[in-house]
Amino acid sequence: MSDMTETTPGWLSTDDLETTRGRMPILYVNAVPVRVDDSGEVVSVGLLLRIGPDGTVSRTLVSGRVLHHERVRDALLRHLEKDLGPVALPRVAPSLQPFTVAEYFPTQGITPFHDPRQHAVALAYIVPVSGDCRPRQDALDLEWFSPQEAASAVVQNEMPGGQGVLLKQALAHVGCLS
């Protein structure tokens, strides 16, 4: 990450972001991209493959910050496009309702969610996508899993910071876990 200040309104410089992260929670959105059949049942879940700052490869959900003066819906759409590509065709309701709120802490064990950089609050959504997904930005790949595969210990162990827990909550919310 560079030390240059972004010119987009709402972005903080690297130093300002670090100072803010140390003093207050930051608002994020998490999205679980899914494919649904004609009856609306979830048939697959998309997980991004990323390389972390420490060089480890992991699977993650779509996620990112909500900018100052940005609607949550707009932030969700921005991050879906950034991570899945411009023709993913997400179906985001005009009036959003998260399936849960995940609170990430820099100290492990307070909640199942951990982010060593900060205290963050994430509104989590399940988002059906129907278009062609081609990961962009820092995502290496996007792989589709059946709900059962996504809930497996193998996939869960590849998801850092409690995102596997969030994924299982999403699957339970849509009736994919018994």
CATH of the domain at 107: 3.90.79.10
Can you tell me the distance from the alpha carbon of 113 to that of 102, in angstroms, rounded to the nearest whole number? Answer: 7
Q: Give how far Cα 173 sits from Cα of 51, 53, 125, 156, Å.
A: 29, 31, 10, 17
Residue 138 pLDDT: 79
- For residue 141, being part of any structural domain is answered with yes
Within a domain: 19: no
Residue 122 lies in a domain: yes
Residue 21 belongs to some domain of the structure: no
Quote the number of domains for the chain.
1
Residue 6 lies in a domain: no
Residue 129 lies in a domain: yes
What does DSSP assign to residue 94?
S
pLDDT in tens, the chain (178 residues): 334 444 455 667 888 877 877 778 999 999 999 999 999 999 999 999 998 878 889 999 999 999 989 999 999 999 999 999 999 999 998 889 999 999 999 999 999 999 999 999 999 999 999 999 998 877 889 999 999 999 999 999 999 999 999 999 999 999 998 6
Residue numbers of the domain that contains 59: 27-173
- Asked whether residue 18 is domain-assigned, the answer is no
Predicted local confidence at residue 44, as pLDDT: 98
Q: In this structure, are residues 47 and 142 in contact, taking their beta carbons and an 8 Å threshold?
A: yes
The answer to whether the CB of 137 falls within 8 A of the CB of 82 is yes
What integer pLDDT is reported at residue 178 of this predicted model?
66
Which residues, in sequence order, are CB contacts of 106 under 8 Å at separation 6+? Answer: 114, 115, 116, 117, 118, 119
